[in-house]
Amino acid sequence: MRYGGEVAQLITAAKYAGRWPLWRTLADLLALRLPAIADVDVLVPMPLHTKRLRERGFNQSAEIAGVLAARTGLPLRHDLASRIRDTGQQSRLSLSKRKLNLRGAFAATSGVQGLRIAIIDDVMTSGLTLDTLAAALKRAGAQHVEAWVVARTL
């Protein structure tokens, strides 16, 4: 789904105006677009750095992933990946600065060995953040990584 209009308003309201019930609506919109039988073993929400998590009080990707896990029966694993460096808001950076900013931002555990993983996120802008996390998961041994996002700007 394209990021803009009503979708952008919903995401902004959920993320910055504390309208938490909207995450269920957004997750339901994403769930409608998923294949009937997902070819993944586990859901991994896009991790937030601990500083950002403290500031915001929640991880929007984890909120969405929790709804998807309940709908699909797939396990939700918060422990397989972490954001080990605070990267700030990527959306405000140019593409070249995003690449530099994301270097070394994520770590994955050996628990991903052989797993087929769906990374869950709210918005995909350039795709670099998702690609960087996917690369960390693959380096740690994940068999397959794909991204499930509510909306895309691409």
Q: What is the residue extent of each domain of the chain?
A: 5-152
Q: Distance (Å, rounded) from C-alpha 95 to C-alpha 139?
A: 23
pLDDT tens, residue by residue, 17-74: 666 677 788 888 888 888 766 799 999 999 999 998 898 888 989 999 999 999 899 9
The average confidence (pLDDT) of the chain is 88
Rounded mean pLDDT of 6-20? 73
Highest mean pLDDT (candidates 18-27, 91-100, 143-152): 143-152
- Is pTM, for the whole model, over 0.75? yes
5-152: what fold? Answer: Rossmann fold (3.40.50)
